[in-house]
Structure 1
Amino acid sequence: MGTSTEIDIGISKKDRKAIADGLSRLLADTYTLYLKTHNFHWNVTGRMFNTLHLMFEEQYNALALAVDEIAERIRALGFPAPGSYSQYAKLSSVKEETGVPSAEEMIAQLVKDQEAVVRTARELLPLADKAGDEPTVDLLTQRMQTHEKTAWMLRSLLQ
């Protein structure tokens, strides 16, 4: 056939690997936050039940879409996307919650976790920018904007 399966998108393999590794951390953070938000959706109680139940559902649905986008970007760069709980536990800066905290504690944890995802994305941004990886820069910018806004909205509930 004579076709090449080598990736030639104008970014070196070394840079693609470093970016994919950073995106893997972002994927782990995002997936862990997805799972935690879904858990809180199921288990929230109290005065703000309906508001939080619906808000958490909206957030975990958005996170599910983000997980797919991040994983597909890793694949487009030519590397496998991590996809197991054990990999995510090693890579994620977001800590899982195994108990059932109060509604206010759920909100406080999610604020902290949304901001952790922003920091992970922000850490990767200069590398992607330096490598000329505009699709990843765009993805990271969108993720930071979404997580910063979500953290702000959640934080507003605590005031």
Structure 2
Amino acid sequence: MKNLVGIDQQKAQKLVVKLNDLLANYQLFYQNLRGLHWNIKGKEFFELHIKFEELYNDAILKVDEIAERILTLEGEPLHTFTDYLKTAQIKEECGVANGIKGVKIVVKNFSTLIKKERSILSLAASADDEGTVSLMSDYISQTEKTLWMLNSYLK
């Protein structure tokens, strides 16, 4: 049986589970970025304060897009920090003030996210879910470029 947007319900449910996992990880990523933005100190303060803000603004948009995609697939997005903490592989970071350490955390978090996005892309393609494929494809290309830039910064 197919759901409202024409995707097999069982395949859509598998996508909902993976998208909820991505949602939880993006929520922790977002909060980590907020902490980095607020607590950064040192000679990289001005550039990283702005960069972390740019990244958390982007992350919060993705949180909303992922939740809305889950709803489009007739699922329910996770919406409590209890669920996010139980689900996410990205861990909370606390009290990081060193810029290089902060960028390394962001790179590590992005690496986790891109693996999840690739997995969802593959599953969505096999489910003929062009909406999720498009979303993940956009996220992956943006994340790849951001990872390249952050890694260049660290060199």
Same fold (TM over 0.5): yes
- Kindly indicate whether residue 47 of structure 2 is the aligned counterpart of residue 51 of structure 1: yes
Deviation string 1:105-140 (CA, Å, 9 cap, x unpaired) is 111111011111000111121111011000000011
- Which segments of structure 1 move beyond 3 Å, counting only runs of 4 or more? none
Instruction: Say which SS state the counterpart of residue 46 (structure 1) adopts.
Output: coil
The one-letter code of the counterpart of 1:86 is T
Name the larger-Rg structure: 1
Whole-angstrom distance in 2 between the partners of 1:48 and 1:152: 19
Whole-angstrom distance in 1 between the partners of 2:98 and 2:135: 33
How many residues get paired? 154
Q: Is residue 37–residue 56 contact of structure 1 (8 Å, CA) maintained in 2?
A: yes
Query: How does the TM-score come out when normalised to structure 2?
Result: 0.94
Query: How does the TM-score come out when normalised to structure 1?
Result: 0.92
Q: How does 1:2-151 map to 2 (within 5 A)?
A: 7-151=3-147
RMSD: 1.3
Most deviating of 143-152 and 103-112: 143-152
The one-letter code of the counterpart of 1:106 is G
The one-letter code of the counterpart of 2:40 is V
Q: Identity, % of aligned pairs?
A: 36
Query: Could you list the runs of 5+ residues in structure 2 that have no partner in the other structure?
Result: none
Q: Is residue 35–residue 95 contact of structure 2 (8 Å, CA) maintained in 1?
A: no
User: C-alpha displacement at 1:101, in angstroms?
Assistant: 4.5
Instruction: Say which SS state the counterpart of residue 78 (structure 1) adopts.
Output: coil
User: C-alpha displacement at 1:103, in angstroms?
Assistant: 1.2
Whole-angstrom distance in 2 between the partners of 1:8 and 1:54: 41
